[in-house]
Amino acid sequence: MASIKGIDVLRGFILPENTAMSHWLGRLGAVGAYENGIYRMDLAVCSDLSSLPDNLTGRRFRECLEKIG
């Protein structure tokens, strides 16, 4: 849905202690940088769900997106 609206990247700003979120985004293929005491993580948006990583996190995320999409 995001790609239909012209969104190319989902960006999250994550506190260092929120390791659950930073690890989850990392397993989905997000890339990050540490800036000013927080992590900035960017997840590329693609309408082709097969571009998600072929790991447990990617497969579960794909399943959720297919249910709502």
Q: What is the pTM (predicted TM-score) of this model?
A: 0.76
- Predicted pLDDT at 42: 96
CA distances from 69 to 1, 8, 22, 48 (A): 7, 17, 25, 12
Of 39, 38, 28, nearest to 61 by C-alpha is 28
What is the Cβ-side half-sphere exposure of residue 42, based on CA atoms within 13 angstroms? 7
User: What is the reported pLDDT for 24?
Assistant: 93
Give the three-state DSSP class for 9: strand
Q: Give per-residue pLDDT as tens, 12-53.
A: 999 999 999 999 999 999 999 999 999 999 998 877 778 888
